[in-house]
Structure formats: structure tokens, C-alpha cells
Amino acid sequence: MRSVIIAAVVVAATAAPARAGDDVDIDGKWPFRGRTVGVYVGGHGSRSGGMSLGGIGPTVDLAVGDGAFQYFAELGLLAAQARIGDGEDARSIRGYEGRAGIGVRWLARSFVMERDGAIEMLLEAFTGLEQFWWKEGGRLTRPDLGGGWAWQVRMRRSKFMFRTSARVYFAPLDPDHAAPICRGSCMEAPATSRWSSGIMANMGVSW
């Protein structure tokens, strides 16, 4: 009996039931579905204090829709690279990056085409945690915070969304945390900020 209840709860939690308002427009926009899954490929890059950091790879997101808003949690596993220092003294190291984040999307604009599909603009805000593991040893952990825009083509019947996003993010670069991989070379470059800012982009599908 206990396993049946657990199974029922799991099914109820993972199914994507049609919400009562799914077919009701909000100011001419179709509301987001109750639950969606997205798979994307993308990457990011940033630079500060003589060190550039970046990664490229797949990201998965789980989202819950609420009218014109969508709340999401995302998880990415990326191939990472850091370039440390400038000029002839520069060196590159490689590794892996895991990134987990949460955020919210707002359906800012929606151009509905003959009721079959829509071309839409979204604004996003998010925060996350990045963990880098370097092949030559050492780790780097940093939080990030950012915002951006996305555009998507949404099919009404199939529920598929083809989405591309571009984001700007900010992340602190703590010299103490970066020291193990910098080996003294990062902060010797004139650091205009101990915050790195960078670009993050993703492209993929959601359903």
C-alpha cells in the first residue's frame, strides 16, 4: 500500500497536467504550461583580474509555469577552460564545470500566428553556483547572478518551444579562492574589478 501511495505521488508530481488556465490568453499571450522540461546546449565566458573563465556544454532545466511567469531550476555539466595571465606569461588549464541555478522568466511579448504558434520574447533573472574542477588539480567555486533575454517559437498543439537565450552575469572573483589555480599570476594583472562579468548563452528545446 505504501509503495502505491509513493508511486501515485511520484506520478502526480512528474506528470504535466493541463492547468485550468492553459487555453486562456493573458493579454493576448498564451500562459506557460504547468511543468516543462528543457534541454539546451550553450556556454559562458567571463574575465576579471587577469583570469578568464568559460565553459561549454549541455544544460537541463525544469520549470513550473504560472501565467506569464515561469520559475525554473537548471543544471549544467560543461567542459571548462581558464586562461590565466596575459601575453607571453599566459597559460590555459582545462577541466569540468558543474553549474546549478534557479531563476524566473517573464513572457514579455507574444506574437501569435494564426493560433498555431507564437514568437515570443522573454526576460530572465537568475542566480546560480558554479563549481570548476581542473585537470591539473584544484577547484574553484563561485556564485553568479544575472539577467537576460530570450526568444522562443512556441507551438500550440505540440507544446514544443524552441528557445535561444542570451544573458549577462556577474560573479565575484575572490583572490583567496582563485589563488590555488592562479599561482600568483592572476591578480598581478591590473584588476579593474574583483567582479567578473560575462556572457552566457543557451539554445535548445523545451516541452
Partner 1 sequence: MIAAVAVALACSAQAARAESDQAPRGKLGFRIGFGALPIDGHRVGTIGLGLGVEHQLTKTWRILGEYEWLWLSDEDATAMRDPNDSSGHRLHAGLRRTLAATTVRKVLRFYVDGELGGGIAAMSLPRTVGKEAAVLPHGFAGIRFGYGFLQKDNKGSRTWEPEFLLRAIGIPDGIGLSFGVGMAWD
CA distance 41 to 79: 12
Dihedral of the alpha carbons of 102, 106, 110, 114, in degrees to the nearest 10 = 60
Q: Which helix (H) or strand (E) holds 66?
A: strand 51-66
Q: Which of 36, 52, 59, 206 binds partner 1 (CB under 8 A)?
A: 52
CA distance 98 to 139: 11
CA distance 57 to 41: 6
Q: Which of 28, 137, 143, 175 binds partner 1 (CB under 8 A)?
A: 28
Q: Which of 35, 86, 179, 205 binds partner 1 (CB under 8 A)?
A: 86
Closest approach of partner 1 to the CB of residue 2, in Å = 48
Q: Is 151 in the site for partner 1 (CB under 8 A)?
A: yes
Nearer to partner 1, 77 or 153 (CB): 153
Q: Is 199 in the site for partner 1 (CB under 8 A)?
A: yes
Whether residue 47 contacts residue 196, with contact meaning beta carbons closer than 8 Å, is answered with yes
89: which DSSP letter?
Answer: G
Q: Is 25 in the site for partner 1 (CB under 8 A)?
A: yes
Residues at the interface with partner 1 (CB under 8 A): 25, 27-29, 47, 52, 83, 86-88, 90, 108-113, 119, 121, 148-149, 151, 166, 168, 189-190, 192-193, 197-199
